[in-house]
Amino acid sequence: MNIREIWYNYRSEVVFFIVLSTCVGLGHWLSRQIAVALFDDVIAPLQNATTTAVCLFGAYVLFRHSDGLRIRKACAWSLVAWGVADGVLLLQTYVFHTPVFHLGTEALNAYTMFMGNFLGWLLLVYPTETLRPGWMTWRTALWQLLPMVGLVVLDYFVPWDLRWLIALYPVVLFVLACTHIRAYRVWCEENYSTMDHIDVQWIVRYLIMLLVMGVSYGYMMVSDSPCRSFMQNILLVFMFGYSIEQILFRRDPWEDVTVKGYGGRRISLSVEDGLSGSERAGLLLHWMQETKPYLNPEFQLMDLRAVLPMNRTYLSNFIRDEFGCTFYQLVNKYRIEEAKRLLTEQPELKMAEVARLSGYSSQNVFTNTFTRETGLSPREWSRKVYSNKR
């Protein structure tokens, strides 16, 4: 993946990171302007109560609409754990006045940092379960949390300050989650003809928020501002709302897909037919040109079973071996050529119509894909073609 492709794939995430970092920086500056008494007595409990309510309500919604999906149940339990922890913290600080943990301007000690890291670990359940379904088990969770427990215990037996190690340990877990992104994107490209709603942008934004939150948490450790958790609590509520919305409405690429009929002649073929790979590739190309299934935005890898009745893995490997690209890249070659034909033969069409007739789900997806593949936007390409004709 070259620099231009990275820019076209993630430019919105770069802007998102800049805007979010600026807002968080301004929030921390604003926290210095807040009176300590106002923060301890009013703002801190209000923010904590809001976080508790959002977590418990979000967990209720996810449980109610789980539809048997493991990711929704896992994230719902994570929200329950966070909501209960914040609720207990709120009650023991402002109702029972027990000296365990405190909200507000209390300094961060090893115990409070472990609780913060544990809650931060809960935020990683969502991207991990999405990128690698079923990977997060009770045993995996135990092995991830044990080092943090060990550091907290060790902090009370050695003369050194281990708070920085405790604070930095979640970085290891964060990097671990990031390593799954490339494999996830490749899997999507091998199975789907469009990255719309199933690409990695949403998870990149989520991880960006975690990264910014981690930097904000580090600032809290060294800041002398008594209201240093002000921005952290705002960011938490935003993250919970974002993750709940994504879990409920984001298309799940791991869900098994069924073969759809696109009309045209259905060719009967089995993997034991004695044909060579090149002969099967020829049959596939003939079927693609004859039925044009790529004009359907929902065209998926398993739909190729209309001509090649193979399983998902075999189909994916077959395309990569015979055509040297992923299913997504193969389909987009056809869609780009169709778009070029429409731009040349029917210049009066609007771009939204060209996108629809070429098999793209939206004009924005069409424009970004066309520009990434050709180096020119559809309008620029069209103008260049007509100027060359003259």
Tens-place pLDDT, residues 28-70: 888 888 888 888 888 888 988 999 999 999 999 999 988 877 8
pLDDT at 122 over 60: yes
If one counts every other C-beta atom within 10 angstroms of the C-beta of residue 253, the result is 17
Model pTM above 0.85: no
Q: Among candidates 67, 66, 92, 90, which has minimal Cα distance to 77?
A: 66
Highest mean pLDDT pick, 66-70, 185-189, 319-323, 334-338: 334-338
Q: What is the pLDDT of residues 297-333, one digit of tens each?
A: 888 888 888 888 888 888 888 898 888 888 998 999 9
> In this predicted model, which residue has the larger pLDDT, 261 or 98?
98
* More confident site: 119 or 75: 75
What are the domain boundaries of the chain?
3-249, 277-389
Lowest mean pLDDT among 195-209, 211-225, 260-274, 364-378: 260-274
Q: Which of 69-73, 249-253, 356-360 has the highest mean pLDDT?
A: 356-360
Percentage of the chain with pLDDT > 90?
A: 9
Average pLDDT, the chain: 79
Instruction: Work out the angle at residue 169's Cα, subtended by the Cα atoms of residues 156 and 254, and round it to the nearest 5 degrees.
Output: 140
| 338 pLDDT tier (thresholds 50, 70, 90) | very high
pLDDT band at 162 (very low <50, low <70, confident <90, very high): confident
* Rounded Cα distance, 246 and 252, in Å: 10
In this structure, of 15-19, 101-105, 182-186, 371-375, the range with the lowest mean pLDDT score is: 101-105
The total of other beta-carbon atoms located within 10 Å of residue 384's CB is 12
- Predicted local distance difference test score (pLDDT) of residue 258: 36
Given a cut of 80, whether residue 238 has pLDDT beyond it is yes
Sign of CA dihedral 336, 339, 343, 349: negative
**∠106-107-113 over CA atoms, to 5°?**
110
Identify the band that residue 135 occupies on the pLDDT scale cut at 50, 70 and 90: confident
Classify domain 277-389 by CATH number: 1.10.10.60
